[in-house]
């Protein structure tokens, strides 16, 4: 980690072959935020579009690049302007190894005098730099900033926006921002910081993680610059700032309105464990029985899909989905050139209205990007134009071969899905 950079131009066909050389684990690759236009089978979501790739097996994913911006494929970067510094990954740390716990907490220190070091970004005074900031965390929301510097935000997720200036950037899980930084400060060294917003969850993690911005000609040595002053908050960037350059307005006629109430309740056997419910049920899928395979092979969805599968006919122009909160039908909606992105923060006791064009037959997963919440069932499937889906699958044998290999491996090992399956 990270894996190799994938760089593509608009219209390029991208092919990625994944070979699972793990001895005891399944795997798959999902390309976050990529528009799989008529390539649903290459979306890489277990239980939804494919079975997991069993050890010693492989699968090739093929799709066409039709967006501008930056993203990552599960654990690394995707796509590649002064100098482009590429991806700046913001990530929580929650995996102390057995030996590090033993050394730090029992033996009381390092076994040698070795210490870590900060990542260094070398800047030339007067130059401008492009940073692609991505939150790949499971749990954490960050405030990102560079001491003493302002930046210009030029895109969010895969949507180029009217540039705006800022000093502190709110980056929630799964979100991407492209920033232009100008090296216009006195020659020195400056902290680049990502501050974990513990106010977003009842989990305490390292608040302040750092890298170094080093100006050419600056001395080496300890940095003493302080962080920016702010009030901790669990917020998105203001919607008024995220104005797409390419203007698209939402149609005012609603073809389908769907209401889903979200509640949580403790596990009956252990009150300290929670499951997340949508319409009174949790999302539960089976790795060996992906929805897409059922549709292609049988023309149906799994029998136990329940309320967590929404079918859309693909005839309407826009679909509105209304989430948790105090929303009423009288709440006015601004339909003019709204922000376009694939990941958004829903406030506690708030609501979120989204709209999308139904022009891409397939099975799509809508889920919470907090890993624990998805694992506990906070997800649903959207099946779009089911009768058109079989024609979009260019090679059904990819799905069936992967599932056949997985079924054999899982049967021999006695494996079961331990959570929601996604």
* Domains detected in the chain: 84-241 (2.60.40.420), 257-413 (2.60.40.420)
Q: Residues 137, 116: contact at Cβ < 8 Å?
A: no
Q: Residues 388, 360: contact at Cβ < 8 Å?
A: no
Per-residue pLDDT of the chain (422 residues; tens, 9 = 90+): 567 888 888 899 999 999 988 887 888 888 888 888 889 899 888 888 888 899 899 999 999 988 877 787 763 333 333 555 678 888 876 656 666 666 666 666 555 555 667 889 999 999 999 999 999 888 788 999 999 999 999 999 888 899 999 999 999 988 999 999 999 999 999 999 988 887 777 666 666 788 999 999 998 876 766 667 788 788 889 888 999 888 888 877 766 666 666 666 655 566 666 677 776 677 877 788 889 988 998 888 765 554 455 555 544 444 444 444 456 666 677 788 888 888 888 777 677 788 888 889 999 988 888 877 777 778 888 888 899 999 999 889 999 999 999 999 988 888 777 777 77
Helices 396-413 and 291-298: crossing angle, nearest 10°?
120
SS3 178: strand
SS3 399: helix
Q: How far apart are CA 115 and CA 225, in angstroms?
A: 21
The CB-side HSE value for 125 (13 A sphere, CA atoms) comes to 9
Q: In the chain, count of helices (H) and strands (E)?
A: 5, 20
Which residue(s) pair with 145 in the sheet?
193
Q: How far apart are CA 266 and CA 296, in angstroms?
A: 37
Four-residue CA torsion sign, 374, 379, 385, 387: positive
Return the structure tokens found at 223: 């940095």
Question: Can you say how many angstroms the Cα of residue 267 is from the centroid of all Cα atoms in its chain?
Answer: 27
Q: How far apart are CA 370 and CA 295, in angstroms?
A: 29
Which residue(s) pair with 210 in the sheet?
193
Helix (H) or strand (E) holding 283: none
The CB-side HSE value for 250 (13 A sphere, CA atoms) comes to 20
Residue with tokens 């209401």, as numbered in its chain: 259
């Amino acid at each position: 980690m990270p894996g190799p950079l994938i760089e593509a131009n608009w219209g390029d066909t991208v092919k990625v072959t994944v070979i699972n050389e793990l001895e005891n684990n399944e795997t798959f690759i999902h390309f976050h935020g990529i528009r799989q236009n008529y390539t649903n089978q290459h979306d890489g979501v277990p239980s939804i579009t494919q079975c997991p790739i069993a050890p010693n097996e492989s699968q090739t994913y093929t799709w066409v690049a039709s967006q501008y911006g930056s993203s990552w494929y599960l654990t690394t970067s995707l796509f590649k302007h002064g100098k482009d510094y590429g991806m700046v990954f913001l990530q929580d740390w929650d995996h102390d190894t057995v030996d590090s716990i033993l050394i730090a907490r029992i033996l009381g220190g390092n076994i040698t005098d070795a210490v870590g070091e900060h990542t260094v970004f070398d800047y030339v005074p007067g130059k401008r730099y492009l940073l692609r900031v991505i939150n790949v965390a499971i749990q954490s929301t960050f405030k990102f900033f560079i001491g003493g510097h302002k930046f210009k935000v030029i895109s969010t997720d895969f949507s180029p926006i009217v540039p705006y200036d800022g000093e502190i950037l709110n980056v929630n899980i799964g979100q991407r921002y492209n920033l232009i930084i100008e090296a216009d400060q006195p020659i020195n060294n400056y902290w680049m910081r990502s501050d974990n917003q513990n106010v977003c969850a009842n989990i305490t993690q390292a608040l302040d993680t750092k890298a170094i911005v080093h100006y050419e000609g600056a001395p080496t040595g300890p940095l003493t610059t302080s962080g920016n002053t702010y009030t901790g908050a669990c917020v998105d960037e203001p919607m008024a700032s995220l104005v797409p350059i390419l203007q698209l307005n939402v149609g005012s006629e609603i073809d389908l309105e769907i209401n889903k109430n979200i509640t949580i309740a403790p596990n009956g056997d252990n009150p300290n464990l929670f499951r997340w419910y949508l319409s009174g049920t949790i999302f539960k899928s089976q790795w060996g029985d992906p929805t897409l395979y059922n549709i292609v092979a049988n023309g149906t969805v799994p029998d136990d899909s329940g309320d967590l599968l929404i079918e859309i006919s693909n005839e309407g122009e826009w679909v509105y989905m209304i989430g948790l909160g105090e929303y009423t039908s009288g709440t006015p909606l601004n339909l003019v050139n709204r922000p376009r992105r694939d990941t958004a923060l829903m406030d506690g006791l708030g609501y979120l209205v989204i709209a999308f064009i139904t022009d891409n037959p397939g099975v799509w997963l809508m889920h919470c990007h907090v890993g624990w919440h998805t694992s506990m069932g906070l997800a649903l499937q959207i099946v779009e134009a089911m009768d058109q889906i079989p024609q979009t699958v260019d090679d059904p044998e990819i799905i069936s071969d992967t599932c056949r290999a997985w079924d054999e491996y899982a049967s021999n090992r006695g494996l079961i899905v331990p959570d929601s399956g996604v």
